[in-house]
Each structure stands twice: as C-alpha cells, then as structure tokens.
Amino acid sequence: QVQLVESGGGLVQAGGSLTLSCAASGGTFSTNAMGWFRQAPGKEREFVAAIGWRGGTTWYQDSVKGRFTISRDKDKNTGYLQMNSLDAADTAVYYCAAGPTSDVSDPRDYDYWGQGTQVTVSS
C-alpha cells in the first residue's frame, strides 16, 4: 500500500551539496522509522542514516556524521537527507525505506523502499 518516491539526486562537484526527498503515499502514513541506504557499483547496500518518525531520534553512519542531516516533515509524509561536503566516495544510488524496524541499520527490518535516486559526485 505504501509507496515511497525519491527525488533530488543528480550530479554535483566534490564539496557540494544535495538534498534528497522521500515522499510517502498510499493512505495514512505511519511508520516507526525512515532510513536511507546507498549502494555503489560492486558494493553491498550500506546504511547511511535513519530517523524515528514520531520522536525524531536520528542515527548516522560514521562516515557521514557531521556532513549529512536526516529530517522529516510528518505533516507532508516526507523525509529528507541533506548532504553536505560531498566527495567521490558518496557516489551511489540512494534509497529511502520505511517500516516498523527495531534495528534501523538493518535493511531487512524495513517494509517499504523507494526506487532509488542516483547521486554522482565528481572529483
């Protein structure tokens, strides 16, 4: 029922910024957490950040802490990932996910996934 639609990806130079959006639809949206994952070519899907939907508690992968900020607007049923100080290592397809997860870093704990959006950082 729930659909997640990502937007905001694109090409950016190293040191630049992008903000990704994840809009939920398909009825009244209620979830425990929304997470962001990324997958680079030849690499496994990697946890990036997550946010508790109700209370706003955040979790971050160490490599993005201090550079990325996750947030959500409950009235708009939309989550965001603001990415600053991007470098080539951030190049990947980024996915948002939602569900009643207890371990926000485990993709198996999410029920719904977006289609992915490409982020390419040139160096």
3-state secondary structure 66-98: CCEEEEEEHHHCEEEEEECCCCHHHCEEEEEEE
- Greatest CA separation for the chain: 42
Query: E strands of 9-77, at which residues?
Result: 10-13, 18-25, 33-39, 46-52, 58-60, 68-73
pLDDT digits (tens, 9 = 90+) for 55-89: 999 999 999 999 999 999 999 999 999 999 999 99
pLDDT digits (tens, 9 = 90+) for 1-24: 789 999 999 999 999 999 999 999
